[in-house]
Amino acid sequence: MKNPSISTHLSFFLLLILSITLTVSADRQDKFLQCLNYQFKNYSSISDDVYTPANSSYTSILQFSIRNLRFASESTPKPQVIITPEHESQIPPVVRCARKTGLEIRTRSGGHDMEGLSYVSQVPFVIVDLINLSEVTVDVEEKTAWIEAGATTGIVYYKIAEKSSTLGFPGAICTTVGVGGHFSGGGYGAMLRKYGLAGDNVIDARIIDANGRILDRKSMGEDLFWAIRGGGGASFGVITAWKVQLVDVPETVAVFSITRNVEEQNGAELWHRWQYVAPQADKDLFVGVIVLRVNTTVLVNFFSVYQGGADALVSYMQEIFPELGLVREDCTEMSWIESTLFSNQMPIDQLDALLNRTQPGLRQLKAKSDYVRTPLPLNVIEEMVSMLREPEADETNYYMVPYGGRMDEISESETPFPHRAGALYKLAGLTYWQNSEAADADRYISWSRRYYEYMTPYVSNSPREAYFNYRDLDIGVNSSNGKTSYARASIWGKPYYKDNFDRLVRVKTVVDPTNFFKNEQSIPPLQAKWTKKGN
C-alpha cells in the first residue's frame, strides 16, 4: 500500500514543477513581446502578425499548415508566439529577440515535415510562419524566378505557366509543399531524371542568420550556399527567398496512370520488372509506382510523365517495358502545367487549384524512407504485399520514385543531398491512420517499424540511406550512450547526408557556433552541447 504522505508530496512536487515551468514560459513570452516592441520603431507595423494563445486566431493560424495530424492534438507542445511576417525585414528583430529571451525558433513554410519539427518543440519556442511570403517573380528572358520561401510548389508552377508555356521547374509532385523546406532538403519531382532536384537548380538565396543579418549568395559565401541546398535550412537560419533556374519543357507532354492488381493481373511481377526498367530509361521518362490496399485487393499503380508526345511514349514503353501492356488509349497529351495537376490526381482543367494551400484527406502519418541500389527479389516484394494485408496497413502505401538519368550525373558532394549514382530508386513506406487515440498510434507506428526492420537486408547499407525531407526521428533515437554531440548526430546525419555530414558540421560551426538554430535532428556545431531534445 502506498504511503499517503509520499503520494501527497509527490503530487505537490509535480504541481510545483508545472507551475514553475508555466511561469518561466509566460515570463519568456512577455520578455519576447517587450523586446519586439522595443526593436520595432513602429510596432503596429507587425502587431497584426503576432499571435499568442490569448489571440482568438492563434489556434486557427497554428493548425492551418499542419499536414500530419499526429501533431494536432491538445497534448502537442504549442508555441509561445506565432509570427507571420509580411516582409523579410520583419524577421531579424524576431531572431534577435528570441535569442535574447532564450526562445527557440521554428520556421514553417508549408508544414509538410513528417515529424512536425517546423511547428513543434519540447522547449519554449516561437514559430516564424512564412505563409505571407509567397510572391513569385518570373523572368522569362533570363529563364529565372525569385520565389519567396512561403510559396507552395503549386503557386510556383501556376506563376511560371502564367508567363510561359515552355518553361517549368523540377519541384515537388505534391503541390501544397512549401518551398522553404522543400528546396533546402533537396526536393524531388517528376522531372528529376532530366533536370535533377529542386535544390540542384537554385542559383541564389536570401537567409537571415543567427545574428539577424540578411544575406544573399555573395554575402553568405559559397559554403553556406552549398549547405542550404540539401542540408536543411532550419539548421542555419531563416531562408526567405530562392532564385532558381527554370527549365525547358515541351508544349505537350504525355501522361498515363495504369493500375494492376497482384491477385489476377501480375501486379507484383510488374513491380519487380519495373526496377530494371525505370531507372535505366531515357531522361525524358518518369514512371513512378504506388502500391496500396483497397479493401482486400492490393493494387500497383504506375504513373508517368513523359517530356514528349503520346505516340513516342507508347512506342518507347513497348520497347523497354512491353509487360505493362501500354497502348495509345492509356495515354493523354497535355501541357506541362496540366501534368502537375494530373500527377496529383486533380482535374487538369482547374489550374486555379494549384493556388490552394489546403490539402484534403489529412490523417496521422509515420514515414520511412530508403534507397534501393539492388533490385528487390520477387519473394521480398511478395512479402511486402503480405504485410499490406495486415490490419495496421489498411491505409499504408509504398511509394517509389525512379532515379538514374541526370541524378547519376551529379556528384554526391555537389550539394549535401548525396543519393545519386547507383541509387535505383527511393522507396518510402507511408503509414496513415485516422484514429487519434494514443494506443492506435502506437499500433500503427509499431507496424511501420516492423516494416522498416524487415527491409533492412534489401536496401542500402553502411549507411542505410534516408531522405532528409522524409524526416524520421526513429533514426538515432537511442544514440546517446555517452557519445559526443558529433558522434550522436552522425548516427542520423550519415543516413541523410553520407560523407557530406562532416562538411555541414564545419559550415554550422562557422555560421552558428552557439547552435541557436536547432531541432531534434539539426546539424550540430563542433563542441556544442547536445541533447535528444535539441538543447
DSSP 220-271: H-HHHHHHTTTS-GGGT-EEEEEEEE-EE--S-EEEEEEEEETTTS-HHHHH
Q: How many CA atoms lie within 13 A of 193 on its CB side?
A: 25
| Residues 92 and 212: beta-carbon distance below 8 Å | yes
Q: What are phi and psi of 472, to 5 degrees?
A: -140, 105
Vertex 167, ends 161 and 172: CA angle to 5°?
A: 75
Residue of 399, 470, 496, 497 marked active site: 470
With residues binned 3-state (H G I as helix, E B as strand, rest as coil), the percentages for the chain, rounded to 5, are 40, 20, 40
Q: Under DSSP, is residue 54 helix (H, G, I), strand (E, B) or coil?
A: coil
| Residues 208 and 240: beta-carbon distance below 8 Å | yes
Q: 7: burial class by Cβ within 10 Å (0-12, 13-18, 19+)?
A: exposed
**End-to-end Cα spacing for the chain:** 39
Catalytic status, residue 470: yes
**Omega into 463 within 30° of 0, i.e. cis?**
yes
Sequence-ordered list of residues with C-beta below 8 angstroms from that of 264, at least 6 positions apart, any chain: none
Q: How far apart are CA 522 and CA 535, in angstroms?
A: 11
Select from 303, 301, 302, 299 the least CA-distant residue to 263.
299
From residue 301, how far is each of 265, 267, 286, 343 by CA, in Å? 12, 9, 13, 12
Q: How far apart are CA 351 and CA 217, in angstroms?
A: 33
Q: 175: burial class by Cβ within 10 Å (0-12, 13-18, 19+)?
A: buried
Q: How far apart are CA 275 and CA 183, in angstroms?
A: 27
Q: How far apart are CA 190 and CA 400, in angstroms?
A: 12
Q: How far apart are CA 464 and CA 455, in angstroms?
A: 11
Q: How far apart are CA 198 and CA 426, in angstroms?
A: 16
How is residue 490 written as a grid cell? 552522425
Q: How far apart are CA 79 and CA 105, in angstroms?
A: 9
Q: Under DSSP, is residue 63 helix (H, G, I), strand (E, B) or coil?
A: helix
Q: How far apart are CA 429 and CA 397, in angstroms?
A: 6
Amino acid code (one letter) for 437: E
Q: For 122-246, where are the alpha helices, taking DSSP H only?
A: 153-163, 179-184, 192-195, 217-220, 222-227
Residues with a catalytic annotation lie at 470
